[in-house]
Amino acid sequence: MPDRSPLWSVAGVVAAPVGSVWEALVASIPALAGQDVRALVHSTSPQVVDAALGDPLSDASIRVQVDPDRHCVTVEGQWWYRGETSVEPDERGSLVAHRVYNIAPGASRWLVQFVHRQDEAGFRHTHEQLVRAIGRRLGCDAYPIDGEK
């Protein structure tokens, strides 16, 4: 990953241990449906899954990397998008952080901020839903936080 700042970043806390939150996160990624979640979570090296994006008959796809050592799921797709969701220890349980990077090549980088300028609110809402869903799945408190660790 080039040394660039994220386009957007958000975080939330799940009041559960990192291992439990990590497994729940991986199980919640739609592109990993049908995969052996336990094998991905406990793998000794990063695993990559290519998945169709939207219509299965389309050529559009995303690449999902599950890195158990870093407790990080990375999704790349379309011409510009890279999202990283990580689970880190936190005094309140686990911090679930999500960062979106603009990886568009060359001069097309500026187009991303123009075309996707309205997406930040939806991005934050989606992450909040993810954090709360993990909390429900684990039967514990989960909530978004302001700022990022």
Q: How many CB atoms lie within 10 A of CB 55?
A: 8
Domain ranges of the chain: 8-144
Comparing 9-23, 89-103, 114-128, the range with the smallest average pLDDT is 114-128
The pLDDT-based confidence of 116 (bands split at 50, 70, 90) is: low
What is the SS3 string spanning 14-81? ECCCHHHHHHHHHHCCHHHCCCCHHHHHCCCCCEEEEEECCCCCCCCEEEEEEECCCCEEEEEECCCE
* CATH code, 8-144: 3.30.530
Q: What is the pLDDT of residue 149?
A: 45
Residue 131 has pLDDT above 60, yes or no: yes
pLDDT digits (tens, 9 = 90+) for 42-76: 999 999 998 877 666 667 788 999 999 999 999 99
CA 144 to CA 149: how far, in whole Å? 12
Whether residue 11 contacts residue 147, with contact meaning beta carbons closer than 8 Å, is answered with: yes
Q: What is the pLDDT of residue 115?
A: 66
Residue 102 has pLDDT above 90, yes or no: no
